[in-house]
């Protein structure tokens, strides 16, 4: 299930707000609440069709899963990361809330975090923060 155009626009706006106010808890909280409210997260698929894994790229902060708000952005991100057309066409949509725990499980294999919507934005979170963020948002109203 793809997000609505309104959801994507709201996330893009929130990402810009955070970019302009990187120390703002309210900006960070607003962005992540919008991302966690998506129906699914998109990934560049690696591995086999029956056991896909997300693409992991090496960034300054270490190995990061590349995640996207839409399947189209996943394809754009794959091409931007240097993958060829065939590899870029292999995208995966993982419904929430399952995507959160699935991603968090990659910390055991040395992945440091998740980065969203590269090259457009690049907001990220450490994988060990995904479950606590989910729990915090469930327990507290928006900032």
| pLDDT score for 143 | 72
Return the CATH class of domain 40-139: alpha beta
**pLDDT given for residue 2 in this prediction:** 85
For 67-90, the pLDDT digits (tens) are 999 999 999 999 999 999 999 999
Give Cα 38 to chain centroid, integer Å.
Answer: 10
Q: Where do the domains of the chain lie? A: 40-139
pLDDT in tens, 27-53: 999 999 999 999 999 999 999 989 999
Percent of the chain with pLDDT over 90: 92
Average pLDDT over residues 112-124: 95
Q: Note the pLDDT of residue 142.
A: 85
Phi/psi of residue 22, nearest 5 degrees: -65, -20
């Amino acid at each position: 299930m793809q997000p609505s155009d309104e959801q994507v626009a709201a996330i893009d706006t929130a990402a810009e707000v955070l970019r302009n106010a990187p120390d703002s808890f309210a900006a960070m909280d607003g962005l992540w609440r919008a991302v966690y409210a998506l129906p699914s997260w998109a990934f560049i698929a690696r591995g086999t069709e029956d056991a896909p894994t997300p693409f992991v790229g090496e960034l300054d902060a270490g190995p990061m899963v590349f995640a996207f708000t839409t399947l189209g952005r996943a394809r754009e991100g794959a091409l931007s990361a240097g993958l060829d057309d065939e590899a870029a066409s292999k995208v995966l949509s993982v419904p929430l809330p399952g995507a959160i725990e699935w991603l968090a499980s990659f910390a055991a294999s040395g992945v440091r975090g998740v980065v969203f919507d590269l090259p457009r934005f690049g907001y990220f979170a450490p994988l060990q923060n995904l479950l606590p963020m989910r729990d915090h948002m469930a327990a507290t109203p928006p900032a």
